[in-house]
Amino acid sequence: MPYLRSPFRFLLHYIRVRPWTFLLLGLLVAGSSVSSIGVQYALKLLIDAMTGSDRIRAAVYTFLGAFLALVVLESALQRAAALTLGHATVVSGVDIRLDMVDYLTGHQMPFFQNQRAGSLGHRVSGLAGIFGAIVHRLLQEVTPPLIAFVGAMIIFVSIDPGMALVLGVVFVIVTVVLVVLGLQGHVHHKAFAEHAGTVGGELVDLIGNIWVVKAFAAHRRELSRLQGFLDDEASAQRRGWFFVEQMRGLHDLALAILVGGTLIWAIGRWSAHAISTGDVVVISTMTFRILHGSRDLAMALIDTSQQFSYLRETLDIIGVPQTLSDADQASRLRVGEGRVELSHVTFGYDPSHPVLHDLSLVIPAGQKVGIVGPSGAGKSSLLQLIQRFHDPQGGHVAIDGQDIREVTQESLRDALAVVPQEVMLFHRSVMENIRFAKPDASDEEVYRAAQTAGCDDFIRRLPHGYDSIVGERGTNLSGGQRQRIGIARAFLKNARVVLLDEATSALDSESELEVQNGLEALIENRTVIAVAHRLSTIAGFDRVVVLVDGRVVEDGPPQQLLRQKGGAFRQLWVMQVEGLDRSTGISAAGERLRHLSDKSREHLGRMVRNAWQGVTERT
């Protein structure tokens, strides 16, 4: 989106979305500022009519009427401007946040992994706030003093052009000096903003890791660490305030001297009968007004420049171009039987360090494939490529014969049901979380999905059954319960291709048995690609692919692979049957396999056999 590239374009974009509202707003603000000058001028005419030698009664009442009418008009226009401004910023704030979240969801997963979710959320809300603040400053604090200045100059020129020139120059000098000084103080505001950002980040981190804090009895330690950050923030804030107050004091002094000087001069001219009483009144009130306005103007300009820097910084983060967007001519994926093909796929998060090497796999529709291998072999990366969370640097992935880069990401993900290793749940009810897969599913369908996934019983035992709130990220549920809800959600989606990324990793043996039936129902008549550390999950699958360092080292039906003496799959199987748990067994095995990664595949196989010779012999 080009308007995310610069703060000006950003502002302009959201003004253009509602041109009439903002035009009306501009007219109302200008109208109320002009009326306020009219009020001053009507007052001058009124006083002149009252104090003039002829004292025409009718003229006095006419000017009084005009004065009162202008006072009412000014307030009415001001109120209308405030209401329109409120409306414009509120509705634009909704648009901005929706657009930003829409744009954010188009970023690749690493973008989110590299950012704190809390801070991104704050930035999205912050953008709406900044838009409102800038529009408010420009229309309520920059435009009125400028119009007042122009109006005052017109009145002063009609009274005394010399004085108009002097006051005009003074106004410009005072404003420029204040802006220059204010910008120097920018460094204090910047320092405060940075410290405030750090405190915010620390708080999010602390609360997000509250379990660790409690488990390590680190409550006092963390409080004193936080106190350090808060103290730094407080001193930066104090320096900023002190600076602003110094500026205000300086301005008040200049204001007193200038207004006093102007009045003395005006009264001198009035004594010499060069100007009227009304002129003296209008000169003094307008001088006071524009010099006061110069401070508001300077403050508003400084503030706006700071808001612009914050806007630029936020757009630099949120508005980075999306690296993985749909192709221009992308069509919807035409879902067929669910054939998945990876053809010569080479992929690395860092292209110079591939995690998958020239990998080819054809998975016919309806086949159930288990992907096994040591930790870091690239199993999850393979599933991510099928979901197109990344594009491979070489080769391609196709579903039902269509290259997934040529179909819309939405249609691709519609066609896949995924149960990840760590099931993410919204801070919503269980019902809403399961129904997320199919928003129009009836309650009955949700219950059925939950029963199939083996989670109906425990859900009904929750305090509010299906209406129970699962807590942020599902913290009110156990890991196994979350995973079963994840399976129910995938079941409800009813997609042709099912991806399981260690879907049973968080289940104990008892729960696993409960879920096994659910999983079997989920995968029935579907293409299944399952990453599994717990090999029992895939024992009944049609095929097992063993990945080591991003390469396929074995591929075949599990029974056949199990018969291969010294084969990698057999080694892994033996280790689990022998009772070695995942942390001591598979990971260690994985590490050992990984060290052999640079050897040829054949050599690797031989080394694997040797490495686990002892274990094999015991079988």
Ligand X SMILES: Nc1ncnc2c1ncn2[C@@H]1O[C@H](COP(=O)(O)OP(=O)(O)OP(=O)(O)O)[C@@H](O)[C@H]1O
Which residue, 16 or 595, is less far from ligand X as judged by CB?
595
Stretch near ligand X under the rule CB under 6 A, chosen from 225-233, 315-323, 369-377, 504-512: 369-377
d(CA 396, CA 616): 37
Count other C-beta atoms under 10 Å from residue 609's C-beta: 17
| 616 touches 602 (CB < 8 A) | no
For 69, half-sphere exposure in the C-beta direction (CA atoms, 13 angstrom radius) is 7
Between residue 443 and residue 482, which ones bind ligand X under the rule CB under 6 A?
Answer: none
Q: Is 375 in the site for ligand X (CB under 6 A)?
A: yes
Stretch near ligand X under the rule CB under 6 A, chosen from 54-62, 372-380, 444-452, 469-477: 372-380
Out of 126, 338, 376, 454, the only residue in the binding site for ligand X (CB under 6 A) is: 376
Out of 8, 61, 112, 349, the only residue in the binding site for ligand X (CB under 6 A) is: 349
Q: Is 381 in the site for ligand X (CB under 6 A)?
A: yes
Which residue, 285 or 375, is less far from ligand X as judged by CB?
375
Q: Report how many residues bind ligand X under the rule CB under 6 A.
A: 12
Residue 376 CB, shortest distance to ligand X, in Å, is 4
Structure tokens at 280: 């003296």
- DSSP states along 367-428: -EEEEE-STTSSHHHHHHHHTTSS--SEEEEEETTEEGGGB-HHHHHHTEEEE-SS----SS
Eight-class DSSP state of 326 = P
d(CA 529, CA 541): 10
d(CA 593, CA 307): 54
Residue 531 CB, shortest distance to ligand X, in Å, is 6
Amino acid occupying residue 76 = A
Report which of 395, 298, 302 is spatially closest to residue 354, judged by C-alpha positions: 395
Which residue, 280 or 382, is less far from ligand X as judged by CB?
382
Q: Residue 212: exposed, middle, or buried by beta-carbon count in 10 A (0-12, 13-18, 19+)? A: exposed
Q: Is 380 in the site for ligand X (CB under 6 A)?
A: yes
Which residue, 261 or 351, is less far from ligand X as judged by CB?
351
Out of 31, 132, 370, 378, the only residue in the binding site for ligand X (CB under 6 A) is: 378
Between residue 401 and residue 440, which ones bind ligand X under the rule CB under 6 A?
Answer: none
d(CA 296, CA 302): 10
d(CA 335, CA 493): 14
Q: Is 351 in the site for ligand X (CB under 6 A)?
A: no
Between residue 233 and residue 292, which ones bind ligand X under the rule CB under 6 A?
Answer: none
Radius of gyration in angstroms for the set of CA atoms belonging to the chain, rounded to a whole number: 36
Q: CA angle 102-105-106, nearest 5°?
A: 95
Residue 140 CB, shortest distance to ligand X, in Å, is 46
Which residue, 110 or 228, is less far from ligand X as judged by CB?
110
Between residue 53 and residue 112, which ones bind ligand X under the rule CB under 6 A?
Answer: 110
Out of 124, 355, 399, 415, the only residue in the binding site for ligand X (CB under 6 A) is: 355
Which residue, 110 or 351, is less far from ligand X as judged by CB?
110
**What strand order describes the sheet that includes 543-548?**
416-419, 497-501, 527-531, 368-372, 543-548, 551-556
Q: Is 198 in the site for ligand X (CB under 6 A)?
A: no
Q: Is 379 in the site for ligand X (CB under 6 A)?
A: yes
Task: State the DSSP H helix or E strand holding residue 577, giving kind and residue range, or none if neither.
Answer: helix 568-577
Which residue, 62 or 587, is less far from ligand X as judged by CB?
587
Stretch near ligand X under the rule CB under 6 A, chosen from 26-34, 42-50, 243-251, 377-385: 377-385
Q: Is 597 in the site for ligand X (CB under 6 A)?
A: no
Structure tokens at 120: 């991104």
Which residue, 269 or 543, is less far from ligand X as judged by CB?
543
The site for ligand X (CB under 6 A) is made up of: 110, 113, 349, 355, 373, 375-381
